[in-house]
Chains A and B, each alone.
Chain A
Amino acid sequence: MAEAPKSRWIAATRHAVLMLFVLISVYPVINVFSVSLRPGNRLRSTDLAVIPADWTLDSYQKLFTEQPFLQWLGNSLLVSLAVTVLGVGLAATGGYALSRYRFVGRKASMLAILTTQMFPATMLLLPLYVMIAYLHLVNTFLGLLIFYTATALPFCLWQMKGFYDTIPISLEEAARMDGCSRWQTFVRVSLPLAVPGLVITALFSFMTAWSEYIVAAQVLQERDMFTLPLGLKSFQASMSTEWGLYAAASILVSIPVVIVFMLLSRYLVSGLNMGGVKE
């Protein structure tokens, strides 16, 4: 058929486009990796080789032996997981209410949630810090937890609301006919069906907490309580950045997120549903 060479040509174009962008996507990461392998803090180099000739794992070794890297990792995991659990819990319930109930103030709530994204976050820092201080939450993970959850929540609520919208309402009606209370309907029917959406919400919450440092720098006051990004930033002094350590830590910080993204990329495509209704 005349169709065959044409479709082969189209497939080739697809691959070409994808490869080009994969290259663009991956290169900066490789660049960081390359810096992390260079000996002695050598940030600048005209060498384009990924693995420098005199490569060394010194930076990685230093990270684990000279820096409380594992402690930071633990802190970050603790905070991020707590944010994930709390964020998912709140978004799962709040998003459900927004999707399924026509309660007084629903529209106002939706609008308020959207408008929270419109205010420059940096300006919220000062009042937020003042508030955290009044609540005696400075230098606690709880302070971070509240702030991170609040940061991630608006998007997560929107996303979950959009996802619940795609679940046919007749399923819930069937459940109610089957004798479920409204709460049981939610827990036993809607929630299990919203798992792809919940996974995305979890990912977002986790990412928010995992990569934030500006608020963390304000709240956390002890080196042992640092989260990873904060630890990472501490290698970056204004006049003397330890690029090797910074790059090595960057790679290590990124790996878990990348793995999570890889595992969830299937869900990511099906679960990300902001208001789009598909039947």
Chain B
Amino acid sequence: MNRSSSVLLVCLACGVIAVIGLGATGCSNWSTASRSGQQVITLWHQMTVGERKVLDQEVARFHASQSQIRVNTLYKETEELRSGFQAAALAGTGPELIFGPSDSLGAFVTMGVVQDMSPWFDQSRVAEFIPQGLTFLASPTEPERPVLVQIGDRVGNHLALVYNRDLISSPPATTDELVTLAVKTTIDRDHDGKTDQYGLVWNFVEPFFAVPFITGYGGWVFDESGDPVPALDSPACIAALEFLVSLQTEHHVLPANCDYETADALFKSGSAAMIINGDWSWGDYLSNPQMNVAIAPLPIVSATGKPMGPMVATKGYSLNVHARAEESAAAMEFVDFMTSAETQRNFMAKLKTLPSRKSLLDDPLLKEDPTLMASALQMNNGRAMPVVAELRAIWDSMRPHYQALLAGNVTPAEAARLMQADAVSTIARLNQDIQPNSTGLILKLVALILTVTLLWFQRGAWGQLAHDWNQNRLAYLLIAPSLAVIVLTIVYPFFYNVVLSFSNMSLRNFQNWQVTGWQNYQQIFTEQKFFVVLLKTVVWTVVCVFLHVVIGLLLAVALNAPLRGKSIYRVLLILPWAIPAYITALTWRGMFDYEYGAVNLIANQFFGLPPINWLSDATNAFIACIITNVWLGFPFMMVIALGGMQGIPRELYEAAKMDRVPRWKQFWYITLPMLKPVLLPAVTLGTIWTFNNLNVIWLVSNSGEPSDKTHILVSYVYKAVFNLYQYGYGAALSMVIFVLLLLFSLLFMWRTKATEGIH
């Protein structure tokens, strides 16, 4: 046997072994009874790193306390947990338990993906918890019967003021004092015009952090009717927004575009005197040996005399609707353990969380620990987070206008008005319940007719196939596995999507969705938003691909000569391609930071350019995304062009030289036309990839910030689906994207004969 065939055989053997091996490792599939008869249950949680340590200790304690149940914990980022849990629910699986704040619960209950826990939770035990500790919601099917959807092990998730005691002796009691203190502690030590220490920082760009100010001014996100009706256009809200803006524009106590990471880093490095942050972060600050930190309740708003009240949420456990009886029982045993007084006390002691059990309210720990005392005090000023799916719409509607306000593009009154308008329409959209109409039936008929005609007209192909099978048997055998994999993993989901795009799958019809008609498409084409985003996508694609090709060609031309250090150049230039994009895209986001980003720092230090507010201005943020994507994509084009250039006969250039053709004309008349056959397929693919590039937009602009103005179609789809649960609408939109790209590719290939290789 010769070398190559043995290599192939070894490869195939490895493949088979790998498949078997990988399949075998999959025996630990979800939670099945393991060999020793143990019940394994899975918990998805979103605890921070510090919290996870305590969680692990408590799980270990649980395992030690009994031998029948094993718990497998898994951290999921908030959004990941939500979308993952929904997807799992659709497939009828998922973790038995999820742990998190109650804000996703409203949607989960509406979708029917969490189970009523009351069968395992005796009515008599309700009294052991404080009222917020247990979340009862109306059952979506029987509105009269409340169901227990979450058992809390802690309440809080609330914001408070954290201050650096080295910089501030006592915390402010009112907002006036807060401003005075903040201004006083905002210092430019070396008088270079750049602030070295800020008075007050927090995740300024996130509306969640603005809520305490709104409550302090007497407002709230919903009105007082009890139904989730937004109330963002209130005088209180406007006043709060005015105050917030003044901190930035009048008092300059916090850096521009201050997001969570910036605020956190500033405070940790001692460059900020105060920070507003949630209970999840305090442990980190308190345990930092280099800092002397204390927690204080947020001050009283001087204008109203009311204390600032953060949103307070319960965190706790919910049960998957798909958990089987024995799994549920085991899971509930674990929940009992985790919500027991002892466990809660451990969390309280180690993480300064506030308990959900009444018995712990009198615990000496709570009376002695200054942090817990301040936290409890703050929580009493707080207001419970509404457990409704609509809350999400509030955040989504507030964020863009809030950020536009901070960027100085709208006035507080305008911002409030726009927030309110958006919230009303978003909530309407969220609760949209499309009913099947006649188009649904027509569509089904059309689909049927299409299929039949297609089969009828292709009937000749079958006979041909049978004939061809004898002749090209090897060809079919060679291509079959590839096609099978593609059909299985791409074609099936594709048709699933086609069906979905004509359906009403959404928050209200999550598991019981049905084909309703072309309403989703109607919605797409009647909204102006779609065309705006489409235009942006086209700009994005054209600019990116153009720059990819231009830079790629430039570098290929530069490299395509006997050059010292050529191979080193080549390797270093490929780096942006080699390193996983999710790493570099995030890095670029960091580099675009206004104050600490390398882009501004370098531009300033070496070229004396004024800093540019990259991420908080819509146009700049979009440019930042383009820069990142160009950076990511040029090596591919460079390599393609370089490969193509090696195939161009030297004689052509020599002939051109004899004809005294200048170099740039040689490039234009020889290099470029000769590269056409390699470049065109690359450009086609590059265009498709760029058009569909979610990663860069998502990571660099932090999912469309500011103001949802950096979206291209794919990120817009993503946001529609994952924020507003509009699965049907999202599917329809992706069909539109698909058709657009298909048309483009066909046209492009037809015009340029790019795929002569195919035909």
Interface residues of A (CB under 8 A from B): 11, 13-15, 17-18, 21-22, 24-29, 31-32, 35, 40-46, 48, 78-79, 81-82, 85-86, 88-91, 93-94, 96-98, 100-107, 109-134, 136-143, 145-147, 149-151, 153-155, 157-158, 161-162, 165, 182-183, 186-188, 191-192, 207, 210-211, 213, 217-218, 221-223, 225, 229, 232-243, 250, 253-254, 257-258, 260-262, 265-266, 268-279
Contact = CB atoms under 8 A, between A and B. Distances in A.
Pick the most buried of B2, B30, B482, B688: most chain A CB atoms within 10 A of its CB: B482
Contact of A25 (B80, B500, B573, B681): B573
Given A127-B493, A265-B570, A276 B647 contact: yes
B4 A105 contact: no
Interface string B379-407: 00000000000000000000000000000
Contacts of B573: 18, 21-22, 25
A118 to B, nearest CB: 4
B74 A223 contact: yes
A35 B570 CA distance: 26
B175 to A, nearest CB: 24
Q: Which 9 A-B pairs have the closest CB atoms?
A: A140-B26, A211-B580, A276-B678, A133-B91, A94-B482, A278-B647, A101-B475, A150-B489, A127-B493
Nearest to B42: A221
Interface stretch (B222-230, B445-453, B751-759): B751-759
B580 A275 contact: no
Contacts of B500: 127
B486 A119 contact: no
A183 B4 CA distance: 13
12 contacts: A24-B631, A103-B475, A120-B714, A123-B731, A139-B30, A142-B19, A143-B26, A157-B482, A165-B757, A207-B578, A237-B75, A250-B583
B25 A275 contact: no
Interface in B634-656: 634-635, 639-640, 642-644, 646-647
A217 B598 contact: no
Contact of B582 (A134, A158, A183, A213): A213
Contacts of A143: 26
Contact of A103 (B88, B262, B472, B643): B472
A276 B49 contact: no
Contact of B757 (A222, A253, A275): A275
Interface string B24-40: 01101110000000000
A211 to B, nearest CB: 3
Contact of B577 (A103, A107, A225, A261): A261
Contact of B78 (A111, A149, A207, A238): A238
Given A22-B573, A140-B26, A250-B580, 20 more contacts: A22-B572, A28-B588, A117-B692, A119-B692, A121-B694, A124-B497, A127-B496, A138-B91, A140-B29, A142-B19, A233-B77, A237-B48, A240-B264, A240-B281, A254-B578, A254-B580, A258-B575, A272-B639, A273-B678, A276-B681
Nearest to B597: A44
A229 B554 CA distance: 33
Interface stretch (B304-312, B327-335, B555-563): B555-563
B538 interface: no
A134 B479 contact: no
B596 A44 contact: yes
B601 interface: yes
A7 to B, nearest CB: 10
Nearest to B644: A276
Q: Looking at chain B, what size class is its interface with the partner chain?
A: 35 or more
B587 A161 contact: no
A26 B573 CA distance: 8
Contacts of B571: 261-262, 265
Contacts of A275: 677-678, 680-681, 754-758
Contacts of B111: none
B567 to A, nearest CB: 7
B685 A117 contact: yes
Nearest to A279: B647
B656 to A, nearest CB: 15
Given A42-B269, A112-B486, A150-B485, A21 B26 contact: no
A218 B83 CA distance: 9
Contacts of A233: 77, 582
Contacts of B90: 126, 129-130
Contact of B685 (A81, A111, A274): A274
B74 to A, nearest CB: 6
Main SS of chain B's interface residues? helix
Given A44-B593, A90-B482, A139-B28, A237 B18 contact: no
Contacts of B474: 97, 101, 182-183, 186
B750 to A, nearest CB: 12
Contact of B745 (A102, A114, A229, A274): A114
Interface stretch (B113-121, B350-358, B736-744): B736-744
B436 interface: no
B465 interface: yes
B331 to A, nearest CB: 15
B605 interface: yes
A46 B87 contact: no
B580 A210 contact: yes
A110 B757 CA distance: 10
A18 B555 CA distance: 7
B484 to A, nearest CB: 9
B247 interface: no
B162 to A, nearest CB: 14
B727 interface: yes
Given A11-B563, A32-B587, A40-B268, A162 B757 contact: yes
B643 A270 contact: yes
Nearest to B290: A40
B19 A98 contact: no
Interface string B662-686: 0000000000000001101110010
B80 A29 contact: no
A240 B485 contact: no
A146 B644 contact: no
A187 B8 contact: yes
Contacts of A253: 580, 583
Contacts of A257: 578-580
B377 to A, nearest CB: 22
Nearest to B92: A133
A119 B494 contact: yes
A242 B692 contact: no
A13 B663 CA distance: 14
Contacts of A158: 681, 685
B718 A221 contact: no
B28 A118 contact: no
Contacts of B78: 238
A230 to B, nearest CB: 10
Nearest to A210: B580
B265 interface: yes
B344 interface: no
A104 B8 contact: no
A80 B555 CA distance: 31
A258 B580 CA distance: 10
